[in-house]
Amino acid sequence: MVTGKVIIITGASSGIGLASARLFAAHGNKVVMAARSIDRLEALAAEMLSDPATPASTEILCVKTDVSLEADCRTMVERTLERFGGIDILVNNAGVSMRALFRDVDLKVLRTLMDVNFWGTVYCTKYALPSLLERKGSVVGVVSTAGYAGLAARTGYSASKFAVRGFLDTLRIEHVKDGLHVLVFAPGFTTSNVRFASLTADGTPQGSSPRDESKMMSAEKVARKMERAIERRRREVILTFLAHLELFVQRHMPRHMDRWAYDYMAREPDSPLK
C-alpha cells in the first residue's frame, strides 16, 4: 500500500485517473487532482473527503490543468510544491484517443494527440523532476498496449504512446544512479470515457464506445495494480493476457500479427477498416 505520499495525477476527473485518486486518497496520501474541469474535480474531492472511511491524513488539491499547455503544467507543479513542499509520485495519466484511418484523418487530430499524450507527459515530468529526484520518487506513464504494438485506425494514439514509452525508458536510463523510479504502465482496454471522447477523422468526439465496456477490466482494478507496481518500484507492467499474447505474436510472427490485428479491430461496430 502506498501511504503518506504527495501524488500528482493528471486526467484525474474520470477513468483510471479518478480511480487512482480515490484509491490513493483512501490510503491517507496527499493527492493532487489535475484536469481541465475544475468544477468536477472539486465536487469529486469533496465527495472523497466527506467519506467517513477517508483517513484524517488525506489532503486533496484540485488544479485546473490542460496538460497540452506547458504553462498549465508548470503552474500545477508550483501549486503542489507550495501546498505540500515536495512531490513523491507523478502519474502521467491524461490522454486522448482517436478512431479513423490515417488517409482520412485531419492532421490536427494527430497534433492534438501528441500535445496531450506526449507533450503533456514531458511538461509535467520536466517541472516535477527536481522534487522527484530529491525524494527518489516515481514517474509513471500510462501508455496502453498501443505503445508497444500498432493499433489500426489509431495511428496518432499509437504514435504518441510509443513516444511516451521511449521518453520514459530513456529517462530511466539517465537517472539509473539517482534512485528515480520510472514505471511504464500499460493497461489493456479499460472501462473509462476515453472511447466516448475519442476523436474522429475531423477532430470531433465520437460520443459512443464501439466496444463492450462490460467485458473490460475496471478502472478500479487497474488503479490497484498501478499502486502495487509503484510500491514495488516495477519498471514495466503490461496488463491482460490478450496484451501479452499480442506482443508475443508480434515478436515471433510479425506478419501473422499484422493480419490478426487488422481483423481484430475490423470487428468493431462501424469500424473504418474494411
Per-residue pLDDT band for 220 (boundaries 50, 70, 90) equals very high
Higher per-residue pLDDT: 242 or 27:
27
Q: How far, in whole angstroms, is CA 142 from its chain's centroid?
A: 3
Q: What is the mean pLDDT of residues 238-260?
A: 70
Q: Active-site residue 148, yes or no?
A: no
Q: Tens digit of pLDDT for each residue in 256-274?
A: 667 766 776 777 777 887 7
DSSP class per residue in the chain: ---S-EEEEESTTSHHHHHHHHHHHHTT-EEEEEES-HHHHHHHHHHHHH-TTS-TT-EEEEEE--TTSHHHHHHHHHHHHHHHS--SEEEE-----B-S-TTTS-HHHHHHHIIIIIIHHHHHHHHHHHHHHHTT-EEEEE--GGGTS--TT-HHHHHHHHHHHHHHHHHHHHTTTTT-EEEEEE--SBSSSTTTS-B-TTS-B--S-SS-GGGSBPHHHHHHHHHHHHHTT-SEEE-SHHHHHHHHHHHH-HHHHHHHHHHHHHTSTT-S--
pLDDT in tens, 151-173: 889 999 999 999 999 999 999 99
Q: What is the CATH number of domain 6-241?
A: 3.40.50.720
pLDDT at 208 over 70: no
- Res. 235: pLDDT tops 90: yes
What is the mean pLDDT of the segment spanning 224-237? 97
Question: pLDDT value at position 249?
Answer: 64
Instruction: Provide the pLDDT for residue 58.
Output: 98
State if pTM tops 0.75: yes
The pLDDT assigned to 273 comes to 78
Q: Which of 127, 148, 157, 264 is catalytic?
A: 157
pLDDT score for 247: 67
CA–CA separation, 94 vs 258, rounded Å?
A: 28
* Per-domain boundaries in the chain: 6-241
Q: What is the pLDDT of residues 122-160, one digit of tens each?
A: 999 999 999 999 999 999 999 988 888 888 899 999 999
Q: Is the pLDDT of residue 75 over 70?
A: yes
